[in-house]
């Protein structure tokens, strides 16, 4: 029996390496295409680091393109706000619908998928009156500078993130039995807040992380809406920088991918490896800890 | 089982719409007063039709400096040397220029002005095609620059609502290291150009590509109005497997994916400073010229800076920046007479032998009708 | 009915009380999603400020119909291929050590690539297959024109963001499979096939179909990458919308763009309905 299991593990490991290896190769080839283009001289014949040298000369590039810093800070802010608003809006709603209002499941799902049916260029048409109304109020309360700040775009980004976040969270919710878990917790005297925070959320770790991943990646890569509303985020600033030189535009495209990757990779270490324990064990543990 | 959800859905919908409408119904009070307060001394700049009306050039400069910012739109830095002009303007007056949507179309510029009306990020000035300018005169503020009298009368609206700024010649750019030099447009149908010829955009959408088809029409014996020969050419180009549907960018040109590109000479010519084998060629039998249009947004968040920008562009200095970018400035004749053309910049203007054809509105309308009906079938 | 009653017994509240829990969500989406969508939908029925069916009629043009058809095919093909490959990848990744570097690396990379698109992605493929790219040899005879065809190159390019998206949305479902279930199947004498057919398959199926739907709509609405690769004609519906909105040659087509957007919504609504039926079937299978 143990021999059989070891053989199975070996087979599984081989399968894993082959599949991951092949897919990573497919991912790597076009990226290499970009890299090699940015790392050659203008004639494309010899290797050259000139483009990278220009781009990584931070003091020079930040004085020449001050928008880059503005855009960078704006995008980081947008990513944080988008993730927070998205989670606050979606996790309780989806859990609640599952527990108390299953009849609304389809409605919520359709609404969450709706943003994908409306391409961003068209959504901007619809968002125009909303933002001109919103900006009016924001300028009234916070003054013209903060009122027309880039950060308010996060409210629209949350909408863009909905389809991806919904799917990731839904997969997570389907994998755990929310009803049994919450009933168990409720019967042990926990309030709805405790159920959400101490029971549901920890069990959704992978799903929440997946949803946040997509939200961060989408926000850091968002161009269309920021561009059309004439707000400077990272992509808009980098795009403008790329307009100065063809090779820099390629290098910039690659760099923004690397940056987003670093952010996501760092994010993947947040929370630690807790999901190895079973939900019921964690429920018991949660009960023991002071509320 | 089935009724309950429906009723619930309806209830939620009603409640949320009510809640949303409750907030949406009232818009922010006195949003117009906040926008005037941001423009400060620019309140009368918004209605000034010349620098004199504001008390002279110094007063205009002072008002613009007070605003401290200018929003331009759809000006790629490599388009007619706009990058250098923007930097020079910013440095000269200490005004921060924000360049939005560098790749936007003329129609997008007007859409952005409508979308961002009343917000400090709205565009102050436009650089649009004649067609778009004619259709949107109501969104422009009339203004006459100091050099107004030296602009030919047929190149401006009599009240100054719009003014032609620079013209371009339609050209063929090609990489001499990758393809043989074409001697006629028909050469491009040869096998040496297989999968190598690109047009800068779809002619039913982009003005540059539209002019490209008109130019080919001239070369093939047609006119700027009757472009059937131009469309046929691209049909044959596609059939020969030479026509690339890809949107060419400086990146695709430099790395060799689009070795032949139809585009304005002021876009093609500057590429040779980076890629020395890149040549710009204008066929002798098909010299097509078209002017672009300058206009000021009537709801400009920085009305004084917008007007100062126009003064700058139509000054000798500004006109020479375009010249340097291989564009043909509108005050060319006057500056030539006065001897103020930049001699080195003059060299970057592509050489043409022959009479340029400038399509009229009527030409464009006829051509457009034919194109919308036939282009998709020709290259689809 | 049983649901409702037990809900009442547990919470001791009327259902309308439960509705309060979802109100914030609905208010938010009403402002930032429903109202903007309605503005677009209503706009489709107006031309030059007055009610008109002109824009809807424009959808009957053969170019628009072709664009719609090709969009559906492209989305369907890339959704199915992306979902299958992505699901296999997700399973492979799920067998890696929890918290290990492989899992973190692949998920982070996929998170980024799932949102990668536009001019940069188009360029990446051109730099690979055209001119002096490393795989240019594959397309030297045809001049590389296959890359710019919606039913060839574009499929490959779309898979570049569809597969990573599948991994990200499907991984949580695969991770929900517990090793104990496989052990239990084995203990009861079941084969690997039985495990997939009777245990893992039914559990994963609803999530798989849901992810398939997401991938379909994701491809359906993508436009920036396609626009950079194919700028001539209107091979896909989103490109038609973009052209109608920003054409500087033919003006005043903004309302037609709204009609095309409405058409896209209708298509997704239809696909969504099919999905609902499939999902119900799948759930029933799961109960069995």
pLDDT of residue C141: 65
Evaluate if residue C201 carries a pLDDT over 90: no
Termini Cα distance of chain B? 51
Measured between alpha carbons, how far is B219 from B216 in angstroms, rounded to an integer? Answer: 5
DSSP label at B164? E
Pick C92's closest partner by Cβ from A15, A37, A123: A15
- Average confidence (pLDDT) over C192-199: 84
Residue C8: is it exposed, middle or buried by C-beta count within 10 angstroms (0-12/13-18/19+)? middle
Evaluate if residue A214 carries a pLDDT over 80: yes
Q: Hey, do B49-167+291-348 and B168-289+352-379 end up sharing a CATH topology, with the first three levels equal?
A: yes
Which chain C residues are Cβ-neighbours of B4 within 8 angstroms?
1, 4, 15
Q: Cα–chain-centroid distance for residue C30?
A: 22
Confidence class for position C86, pLDDT limits 50, 70, 90: very high
Evaluate if residue B70 carries a pLDDT over 50: yes
The ranges assigned to domains in chain C are 18-52, 62-287
Interface of C with B in 88-127 (CB under 8 A): 119, 122-123, 126-127
- Average confidence (pLDDT) over A200-224: 88
Backbone angles phi, psi at A119, to 5 degrees: -60, 150
User: Which of A7-11, B133-137, B255-259, C94-98 has the largest mean confidence?
Assistant: B133-137
- Percent share of chain B, pLDDT over 70: 89
Tell me the pLDDT tens digit for each residue of C132-178.
Answer: 777 877 766 666 788 888 888 899 999 999 999 999 889 888 888 87
Confidence class for position C10, pLDDT limits 50, 70, 90: very low
Measured between alpha carbons, how far is B27 from A133 in angstroms, rounded to an integer? Answer: 6
Query: Do residues A80 and C228 lie in contact, with contact meaning Cβ atoms separated by under 8 Å?
Result: no
DSSP string covering C154-167: HHHHHHHHHHHHHH
- Average confidence (pLDDT) over A23-46: 87
Confidence class for position C285, pLDDT limits 50, 70, 90: low
pLDDT of residue B23: 53
- Average confidence (pLDDT) over A100-111: 88
- The distance of C285 to chain A (nearest Cα, Å) reads 15
Contact A228 B101 (CB under 8 A): yes
pLDDT of residue B40: 44
- Percent share of chain B, pLDDT over 90: 67
Measured between alpha carbons, how far is C266 from C277 in angstroms, rounded to an integer? Answer: 17
Contact C232 B207 (CB under 8 A): no
Measured between alpha carbons, how far is A181 from A193 in angstroms, rounded to an integer? Answer: 14
Lowest-pLDDT range, A237-241, B26-30, B104-108? B26-30
Tell me the pLDDT tens digit for each residue of C178-187.
Answer: 778 888 888 8
- The distance of C200 to chain B (nearest Cα, Å) reads 30
Indicate the average pLDDT of chain B: 88
Q: Element (H or E) spanning B108, and its range?
A: helix B106-115
Termini Cα distance of chain C? 21
Task: Please work out, in degrees rounded to the nearest 5, the angle formed at the alpha carbon of residue B82 by the alpha carbons of B79 and B87.
Answer: 150
DSSP 3-state of A44 = coil
Evaluate if residue B292 carries a pLDDT over 90: yes
Q: What is the dihedral of CA C141, C144, C145, C151, to 10 degrees?
A: 110
DSSP string covering C215-282: HHHHHHH--HHHHHH--SS--SHHHHHHHHHH-SSS---HHHHHHHHHHHHHHHHHHHHHHHHHHHHH
Measured between alpha carbons, how far is B77 from B103 in angstroms, rounded to an integer? Answer: 10
Evaluate if residue B219 carries a pLDDT over 80: yes
DSSP 3-state of B96 = strand
pLDDT of residue A55: 82
DSSP 3-state of A41 = coil
Tell me the pLDDT tens digit for each residue of B34-57.
Answer: 344 344 444 588 889 999 999 899
Lowest-pLDDT range, B303-317, C72-86, C96-110, C175-189? C175-189
Which residue segments constitute the domains of chain A, with CATH numbers given? 71-234 (1.10.3720.10)
- What's the helix, strand, coil split of chain B in %, to 5? 50, 15, 35
CATH class of C62-287: mainly alpha
- B199–C contact, CB cutoff 8 A: yes
Whole-model pTM: value is 0.86
- Can you read off the two tokens belonging to residue B309? 């920008």
Among candidates A170, A90, C269, A101, which has minimal Cα distance to B5? A101
- The distance of A195 to chain B (nearest Cα, Å) reads 24
Q: Cα–chain-centroid distance for residue C227?
A: 18
Give Rg (Cα) of chain B.
24
Which chain C residues are Cβ-neighbours of A93 within 8 angstroms?
21-22, 24-25
pLDDT of residue C9: 40
Tell me what ipTM this predicted complex has.
0.85
Measured between alpha carbons, how far is C207 from C165 in angstroms, rounded to an integer? Answer: 13
Q: Where are the beta strands (DSSP E) in C80-126?
A: none
Mutate to test the interface with B, among C37, C63, C249 (most CBs of B within 10 A): C249
As its CATH architecture, domain B168-289+352-379 has 3-Layer(aba) Sandwich (3.40)
pLDDT of residue A285: 47
In order of B153, B316, B331, the CA distances from B338 in angstroms are: 18, 10, 11
- Average confidence (pLDDT) over B68-97: 93
pLDDT of residue B314: 96
Q: Determine the longest span between alpha carbons in chain B, in angstroms.
A: 87
Confidence class for position B22, pLDDT limits 50, 70, 90: low
Q: Element (H or E) spanning B289, and its range?
A: strand B289-297
Pick B38's closest partner by Cβ from A104, A144, A230: A144
Evaluate if residue C43 carries a pLDDT over 60: yes
Confidence class for position A284, pLDDT limits 50, 70, 90: very low
Give Rg (Cα) of chain A.
23
Tell me the pLDDT tens digit for each residue of B181-212.
Answer: 999 999 999 999 988 999 999 999 899 999 99
pLDDT of residue B2: 38
Q: Element (H or E) spanning B172, and its range?
A: strand B163-175
Among candidates B40, B97, B93, B110, which has minimal Cα distance to B71? B97
Among candidates B67, B137, B56, which has minimal Cα distance to B95? B67
Tell me the pLDDT tens digit for each residue of C226-242.
Answer: 888 888 878 899 988 88
Lowest-pLDDT range, A144-148, A194-198, C283-287? C283-287
pLDDT of residue B57: 94
Contact B204 C27 (CB under 8 A): no
Interface of A with B in 27-46 (CB under 8 A): 37, 42-44
Q: Where are the beta strands (DSSP E) in chain A?
A: none
Query: Do residues C220 and C264 lie in contact, with contact meaning Cβ atoms separated by under 8 Å?
Result: yes
pLDDT of residue C16: 66
As beta bridge partners, residue B198 has B244, B261
- Average confidence (pLDDT) over A137-149: 82
As beta bridge partners, residue B164 has B293
Contact B31 A136 (CB under 8 A): yes
Evaluate if residue B17 carries a pLDDT over 70: no
**Residue where the block lists tokens 């472009």:** B227
pLDDT of residue B18: 60
Tell me the pLDDT tens digit for each residue of C66-78.
Answer: 999 999 999 999 9
DSSP string covering B238-285: HHTT-EE-S---HHHHHTTS-SEEEEEHHHHGGGGGTSTTEEEE--TT
Which chain A residues are Cβ-neighbours of B114 within 8 angstroms?
128
In order of A241, B369, C36, C50, C59, the CA distances from C53 in angstroms are: 44, 22, 21, 10, 10
Confidence class for position C287, pLDDT limits 50, 70, 90: low
The total of other beta-carbon atoms located within 10 Å of residue C15's CB is 18
Lowest-pLDDT range, A75-89, A260-274, B17-31? B17-31
Indicate the average pLDDT of chain A: 84
Tell me the pLDDT tens digit for each residue of B319-334.
Answer: 999 999 989 999 999 9
Among candidates B213, B194, B195, which has minimal Cα distance to B203? B213
- Average confidence (pLDDT) over B18-30: 59
pLDDT of residue C131: 75
Return the CATH superfamily for domain B49-167+291-348. Periplasmic binding protein-like II (3.40.190.10)
Q: Helix A120-147 crosses helix C237-246 at what angle (to 10 degrees)?
A: 50
Q: Helix A246-267 crosses helix A234-242 at what angle (to 10 degrees)?
A: 150
- The distance of B224 to chain C (nearest Cα, Å) reads 15
Q: Which residues of B219-232 are buried (b: 16+ CB within 10 A; e: fewer)?
A: bbebbbbebbbbbb
Residue B183: is it exposed, middle or buried by C-beta count within 10 angstroms (0-12/13-18/19+)? exposed
- Average confidence (pLDDT) over A256-283: 69
Confidence class for position B237, pLDDT limits 50, 70, 90: very high
Evaluate if residue C54 carries a pLDDT over 80: yes
pLDDT of residue B12: 59
Which chain C residues are Cβ-neighbours of A276 within 8 angstroms?
98
Tell me the pLDDT tens digit for each residue of C267-281.
Answer: 988 988 888 888 777
Chain A touching partners, 3 or more CB pairs below 8 A: B, C
Measured between alpha carbons, how far is A163 from C218 in angstroms, rounded to an integer? Answer: 9
Among candidates B119, B117, B163, which has minimal Cα distance to B142? B163
Contact C243 B19 (CB under 8 A): no
Mutate to test the interface with B, among A243, A247, A254 (most CBs of B within 10 A): A243
Interface of C with B in 198-237 (CB under 8 A): 227-235
């Amino acid at each position: 029996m143990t021999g059989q299991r070891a053989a199975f593990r070996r087979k599984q490991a081989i399968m894993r390496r082959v599949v991951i290896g092949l897919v990573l190769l497919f991912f790597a080839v076009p990226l290499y295409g970009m890299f090699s283009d940015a790392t050659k001289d203008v004639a494309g014949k010899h290797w050259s680091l000139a483009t990278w040298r220009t781009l990584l000369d931070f003091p020079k590039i930040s004085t020449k393109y001050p928008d880059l810093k503005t855009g960078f800070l704006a995008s980081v802010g947008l990513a944080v706000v988008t993730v927070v608003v998205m989670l606050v809006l979606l996790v309780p709603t989806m859990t609640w619908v599952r527990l108390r209002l299953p009849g609304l499941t389809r409605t919520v799902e359709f609404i969450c998928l709706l943003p994908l049916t409306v391409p961003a260029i068209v959504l901007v048409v619809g968002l125009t009156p909303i933002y001109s109304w919103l900006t009016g109020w924001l300028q009234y309360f916070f003054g013209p500078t903060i009122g027309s700040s880039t950060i308010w775009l996060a409210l629209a980004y949350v909408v863009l993130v909905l389809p991806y976040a919904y799917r990731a969270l839904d997969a997570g919710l389907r994998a755990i039995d929310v009803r049994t878990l919450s009933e168990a917790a409720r019967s042990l005297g926990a309030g709805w807040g405790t159920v959400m925070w101490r029971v549901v959320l920890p069990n959704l770790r992978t799903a929440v992380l997946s949803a946040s991943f997509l939200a961060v990646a989408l926000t850091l890569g968002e161009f269309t809406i920021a561009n059309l509303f004439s707000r400077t985020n990272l992509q808009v600033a980098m795009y403008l920088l790329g307009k100065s030189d063809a090779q820099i535009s390629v290098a910039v495209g690659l760099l923004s991918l690397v940056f987003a990757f670093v952010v996501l990779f760092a994010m993947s270490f947040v929370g630690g490896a807790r999901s190895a324990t079973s939900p019921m064990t964690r429920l018991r543990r949660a009960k023991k800890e002071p509320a | 089982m089935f009724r309950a959800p429906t009723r619930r859905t309806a209830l939620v919908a009603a409640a949320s719409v009510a809640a949303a409408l409750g907030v949406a119904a009232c818009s922010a009070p006195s949003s117009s007063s906040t926008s005037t307060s941001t423009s400060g001394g620019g309140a009368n700049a918004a209605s000034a039709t010349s620098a004199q009306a504001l008390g002279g050039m110094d007063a205009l400069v002072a008002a613009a400096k007070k605003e401290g910012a200018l929003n331009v739109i759809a000006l790629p830095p490599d388009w007619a040397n706009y990058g250098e002009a923007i930097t020079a303007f910013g440095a000269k007056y200490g005004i921060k220029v924000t360049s939005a949507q560098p790749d936007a179309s003329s129609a997008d510029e007007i859409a952005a002005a409508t979308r961002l009306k009343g917000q400090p990020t709205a565009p102050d000035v436009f650089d649009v095609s004649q067609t778009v300018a004619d259709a949107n005169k109501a969104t422009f503020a009339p203004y006459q620059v100091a050099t107004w009298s030296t602009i030919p009368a047929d190149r401006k609206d009599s009240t100054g609502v719009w003014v032609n700024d620079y013209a371009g010649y339609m050209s063929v750019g090609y990489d001499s290291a990758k393809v043989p030099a074409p001697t006629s447009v028909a050469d491009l149908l040869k096998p040496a150009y297989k999968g190598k010829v690109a047009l800068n955009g779809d002619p039913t959408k982009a003005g540059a590509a539209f002019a490209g088809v008109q130019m080919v029409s001239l070369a093939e014996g047609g006119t700027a109005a009757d472009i059937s020969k131009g469309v046929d050419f691209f049909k044959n180009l596609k059939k020969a497997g030479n026509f690339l549907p890809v949107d060419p960018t400086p990146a695709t040109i430099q790395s060799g994916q689009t070795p032949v590109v139809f585009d304005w000479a002021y876009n093609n010519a500057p590429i040779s400073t980076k890629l020395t084998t890149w040549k710009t060629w204008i066929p002798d039998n098909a010299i097509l010229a078209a002017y672009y249009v300058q206009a000021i947004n009537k709801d400009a968040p920085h009305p004084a800076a917008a007007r100062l920008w126009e003064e700058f562009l139509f000054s000798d200095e500004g006109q020479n920046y375009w010249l340097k970018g291989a564009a043909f400035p509108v005050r060319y004749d006057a500056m030539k007479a006065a001897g103020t053309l930049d001699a080195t910049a003059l060299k970057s203007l592509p050489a043409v032998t022959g009479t340029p054809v400038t399509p009229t509105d009527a030409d464009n309308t006829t051509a457009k009708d034919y194109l919308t009906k036939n282009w998709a079938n020709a290259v689809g | 009915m049983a649901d409702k009653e037990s809900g009442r017994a547990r919470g001791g509240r009327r259902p309308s009380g439960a509705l309060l829990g979802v109100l914030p969500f609905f208010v938010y989406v009403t402002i930032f999603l429903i109202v903007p969508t309605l503005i677009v939908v209503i706009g489709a029925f107006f031309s030059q400020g007055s009610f008109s069916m002109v824009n809807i009629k424009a959808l009957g043009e053969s170019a628009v119909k072709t664009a719609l058809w090709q969009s559906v095919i492209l989305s369907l093909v890339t959704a199915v291929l992306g979902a299958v490959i992505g699901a296999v990848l997700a399973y492979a990744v799920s067998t890696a050590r929890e918290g290990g570097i492989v899992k973190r690396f692949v998920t982070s990379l996929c998170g980024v690539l799932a949102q990668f698109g536009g001019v940069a992605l188009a360029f990446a493929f051109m730099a690979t297959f055209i001119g002096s790219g490393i795989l240019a040899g594959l397309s030297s005879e045809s001049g590389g024109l296959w890359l710019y065809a919606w039913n060839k190159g574009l499929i490959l390019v779309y898979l570049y963001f569809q597969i990573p998206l599948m991994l990200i949305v499907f991984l949580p479902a695969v991770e929900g499979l517990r090793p104990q279930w496989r052990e239990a199947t084995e203990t009861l004498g079941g084969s690997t096939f039985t495990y997939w057919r009777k245990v893992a398959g039914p559990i994963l199926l609803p999530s798989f179909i849901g992810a398939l739907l997401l991938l379909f709509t994701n491809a359906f609405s993508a436009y920036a990458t396609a626009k950079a690769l194919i700028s001539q004609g209107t091979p896909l519906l989103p490109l038609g919308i973009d052209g109608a909105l920003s054409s500087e040659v033919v003006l005043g087509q903004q309302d037609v763009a709204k009609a095309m957007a409405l058409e896209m919504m209708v298509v997704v609504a239809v696909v969504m309905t099919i999905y609902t039926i499939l999902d119900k079937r799948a759930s029933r299978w799961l109960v069995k």
